[in-house]
């Protein structure tokens, strides 16, 4: 299958390398010519818990070259989703599907504004990845990947994609309730990502300090109130226990938001804790902890050039 991956970041590179190694025709669509040239020439190097290997992929900045792709996987930051989808919209053939594997809440709605919802697949993955350089990724954590259509239908094409992912080495299944799973992952990110960005601790360290755990519990509890008011069915019974177990299971992982902060990039805080704040306001639910985390991470972003050097 011809598969185009938009965004050669940590997760895009991880999926691109595994899919290419399994024999799929993988194209990486980038907006940087120098990076695309590097990846085209050197491939993607993977190291970490899955071993060390290098996979050859095609890479380009020209959207026309991914024309004919049967599956387009969107792995860009949430704040770039609208621009990217508009850029590739004209290249979506009758049989093409677009899959979002992004963090946060709101990406589906952004894509739906541009693309027919029948072409959209949403997904969540528990794999952890750290980008070490252009076309160089560390596989830091394994977990389940779940994909689903917005209408809940378990189609043959959906099962085919799940099968391709399984063949590539990703434990993948289809779901009728992908929105519930997206909320389930969102709540985990609410408890982890912003705190790692502020404290600069990796996932596992968050549960070692009682002060941080208290903030985590408060942020998660607020998010759960919003989900319950919206009648979202979560994939776990005890959200706080789930977040803490994810911290331990991915103890060595540097969250995507902490990676952004360490590299002085814009974060996705607006689509994670910020999404909870926005949803809560419409429901009359107070979210002081999430508001504070939103403000703190925004301040970190805005003050990159003000850091005190030691």
Q: Is the pLDDT of residue 29 over 80?
A: yes
pLDDT at 223: 98
Are 50 and 82 a contacting pair, CB within 8 Å? no
Q: Quote the pTM value.
A: 0.91
Mean pLDDT of 159-172: 97
All CATH 3.40.50.720 domain ranges of the chain, comma separated, are 2-176
183 Cβ contact list (under 8 Å, min separation 6): 105, 227, 232, 234
pLDDT at 113: 94
- What is the edge-to-edge ordering of all strands in the sheet holding 120-125? 58-60, 25-29, 2-6, 71-74, 97-100, 120-125, 145-149, 172-174
- With tokens 């019974």, the residue in question is 237
Are 279 and 252 a contacting pair, CB within 8 Å? no
- With tokens 């990947």, the residue in question is 145
Encode 243-275: b = buried (16+ Cβ within 10 Å), e = exposed.
bbebbeebbebbbbbbbbbeeeeebbbbbbbbb
CATH class of 180-301: mainly alpha
CA dist., res. 91 & res. 115, Å (int): 11
CA dist., res. 277 & res. 296, Å (int): 14
Q: Is the pLDDT of residue 199 over 80?
A: yes
* Cα torsion through 217, 222, 228, 233, rounded to 10: -50
Mean pLDDT of 97-116: 94
All CATH 1.10.1040.10 domain ranges of the chain, comma separated, are 180-301
Of 145, 202, 132, 153, whose CA–CA distance to 173 is shortest? Answer: 145
Lowest-pLDDT choice from 131-135, 214-218, 234-238, 250-254: 250-254
pLDDT at 141: 84
Of 172, 154, 129, whose CA–CA distance to 22 is shortest? Answer: 172
Mean pLDDT of 273-284: 96
- With tokens 């594997």, the residue in question is 101
Task: Calculate helix-pair angle for 178-199, 273-283, nearest 10 degrees.
Answer: 120
Mean pLDDT of 259-283: 96
Secondary structure of 122-170 in the HEC alphabet?
EEEECCEEEEEECCEEEEEECCCEEEEECCCCCCHHHHHHHHHHHHHCC
From 45, 77, 185, 242, the catalytic residue: 185
pLDDT at 310: 61
| Phi, psi for residue 155 in degrees, rounded to 5 | -85, 165
CA dist., res. 2 & res. 28, Å (int): 11
173 half-sphere exposure, CB direction, 13 A CA radius:
7
Which of the four pLDDT bands, split at 50, 70 and 90, describes residue 21? very high
Task: Specify the CATH architecture of the domain 2-176.
Answer: 3-Layer(aba) Sandwich (3.40)
Mean pLDDT over each residue of the chain, to the nearest integer: 95
Token output for 243: 């977040």
Which of the four pLDDT bands, split at 50, 70 and 90, describes residue 182? very high
pLDDT at 143: 87
Q: Is the pLDDT of residue 145 over 90?
A: yes
- Identify any residues that bridge with 39 across adjacent strands, giving them in sequence order: none
Are 99 and 74 a contacting pair, CB within 8 Å? yes
Q: Is the pLDDT of residue 268 over 90?
A: yes
Active site residue 309: no
């Amino acid at each position: 299958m011809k598969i185009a991956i938009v965004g050669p970041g940590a997760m895009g590179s991880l999926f691109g390398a595994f899919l290419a190694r399994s024999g799929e025709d993988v194209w990486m669509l980038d907006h940087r010519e120098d990076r695309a040239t590097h990846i085209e020439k050197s491939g993607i190097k993977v190291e970490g818990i899955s071993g060390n290997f290098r996979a050859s992929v095609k890479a380009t900045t020209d959207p026309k070259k991914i024309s004919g792709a049967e599956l387009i996987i969107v792995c860009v930051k949430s704040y770039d989703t609208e621009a990217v989808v508009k850029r590739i919209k004209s290249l979506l053939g009758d049989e093409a599907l677009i899959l979002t594997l992004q963090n946060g809440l709101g990406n589906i709605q952004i894509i739906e504004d541009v693309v027919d919802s029948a072409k959209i697949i949403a997904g969540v993955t528990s794999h952890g990845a750290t980008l070490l350089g252009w076309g160089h990724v560390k596989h830091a954590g394994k977990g389940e990947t779940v994909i689903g259509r917005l209408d809940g239908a378990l189609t043959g094409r959906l099962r085919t994609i799940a099968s391709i992912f399984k063949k590539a080495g990703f434990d993948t299944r289809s779901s009728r309730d992908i929105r519930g799973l997206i909320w389930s992952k969102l709540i985990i990110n609410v408890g982890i990502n912003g705190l790692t960005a502020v404290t600069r601790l990796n996932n596992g360290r968050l549960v070692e300090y009682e002060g941080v755990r208290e903030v985590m519990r408060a942020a998660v509890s607020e998010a759960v109130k919003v989900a319950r008011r919206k009648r979202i069915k979560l994939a776990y019974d005890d959200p706080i226990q789930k977040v803490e177990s994810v911290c331990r299971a991915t103890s060595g992982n540097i969250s995507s938001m902490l990676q952004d902060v360490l590299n002085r990039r814009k974060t996705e805080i607006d689509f994670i804790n910020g999404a909870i704040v926005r949803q809560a306001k419409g429901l009359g639910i107070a979210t002081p902890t999430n508001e504070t985390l939103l403000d703190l991470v925004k301040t970190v972003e805005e003050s990159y050039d003000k850091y005190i050097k030691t």
